[in-house]
Amino acid sequence: MKESGVPESLTSEAVKPAVLEFEADAVRYEYERVAALQGLTLRVRAGERITLLGANGSGKSTLLRLMDGLHFACAGALRFRGEALTEEAMEDDGFAMSFRRRVGMVFQNPDIQLFNPTVFDEVAFGPLQLGWPREEILERVHATLEWIGAEHLKDRAPYRLSGGEKKRVAIASVIVLDPDVLLLDEPTAALDPRSQSQVIELLESWNNGQKTIITATHQLEILGEISGRAVVLEHGAVVADATPAEVLANTELLEAANLIHSHRHLHGGVPHKHPSPYLRHEHHKH
């Protein structure tokens, strides 16, 4: 049993391909002396689609930022393909360029991520930074914009796009680099249902599902669609690591991790209380 009372069966990893992408060993990270990650240990293998589940403040976004080499562990070790992700390593131009080419991150707030004058410039920004040849950049940017259905938006200012369009352009601006690993921070947060499903379809269709995708979210309804493995975080540590179906079936775990709530309601005139991820009782059956 792990510290949250999760059975050992739930901590077995669902997929075990050979190549290790990320290895986190007892990683600790603090924001102004407040621990965001504490003793976090995790293995991510090539081709896995993992969801990091957890309530607000559980450490999901922080872990993604460490994995993207934007923040660095205060203690413990985080490695990408065997190379330690440290500040010193990222200061090395050769390593940093190679890492940025292989690992891409889509931020939660697209307004932060979209900072170029036009959609075309936005998608071209990453390839330009990595020094790709001009012709290749033009070809890839056009192909990527076509793939997300945004070719007609290429001359628009990103800040004028709708929420769903911004998110798709943010994803395109990273996917244009064709990274081996894609980190997504709340990719469907604050999107309407249609935009949510468009984003999920994009991720499903990307490279026929062959890439490693790590998604941080607290939206349980998209869990099965975007991942084959679910890692539950609580107070900056892994409390469960299992298949989405196993995690979704463990209401005790989900309630302890603040991913579902207990509510009281009437059914056939009989009041009763049970945990549910749904806000209204007509959304579930007994």
Residues of the shown chain interacting with another protein in the complex, contacts defined by CB under 8 A? 65, 68, 70, 93, 96-97, 100-101, 104-105, 107, 109, 111-113, 115, 117, 121, 124-126, 128-131, 134, 137-138, 157, 159, 173-174, 177
Would you say 112 or 270 has its CB closer to another protein? 112
The alpha-carbon radius of gyration of the chain (Å, integer) is 20
Token code pair at residue 104: 């891409």
129-160: b (≥16 Cβ within 10 Å) or e: eeebeeeebeebbeebbebbebeebbebebee
Residue type, 158: P
Q: Shortest CA distance to 170 belongs to which of 235, 111, 242? A: 111
CB of residue 277 to another protein, shortest distance in Å: 29
* Cβ-based nearer residue to another protein, 165 or 246: 165
Question: Cβ closer to another protein: 80 or 107?
Answer: 107
Q: Report the residue number, 109 or 219, with the smaller CB distance to another protein.
A: 109
Q: Write down the residue that tokens 């891409």 correspond to.
A: 104
- Closest approach, Cβ 204 to another protein, in A, equals 23
Q: Which is nearer to another protein, 128 or 245 (CB)?
A: 128
Least CB distance from residue 91 to another protein, whole Å? 10
Rounded to the nearest whole angstrom, what is the least distance from the CB of residue 238 to another protein in the complex? 24
Our CB check for another protein shows the closer of 75 and 96 to be 96
Separation between Cα atoms, residue 37 and residue 28, nearest integer Å? 5
* Shortest distance in whole angstroms from residue 283 CB to another protein: 31
Spatial distance between the Cα atoms of 159 and 105, rounded to a whole number of angstroms: 19
Q: Which two tokens stand for residue 220?
A: 């349980």
Locate 205 and state its tokens: 């269709």
Instruction: Give whichever of 54 and 126 is closer to another protein, judged by the CB atom.
Output: 126
Cβ within 8 Å of residue 175, ≥6 positions away: 104, 144, 147, 182, 206
Min dist CB 210 to another protein, Å, is 22
Q: Are 198 and 164 in contact (CB under 8 A)?
A: yes
- Minimal distance, residue 240 CB to another protein, in Å: 28
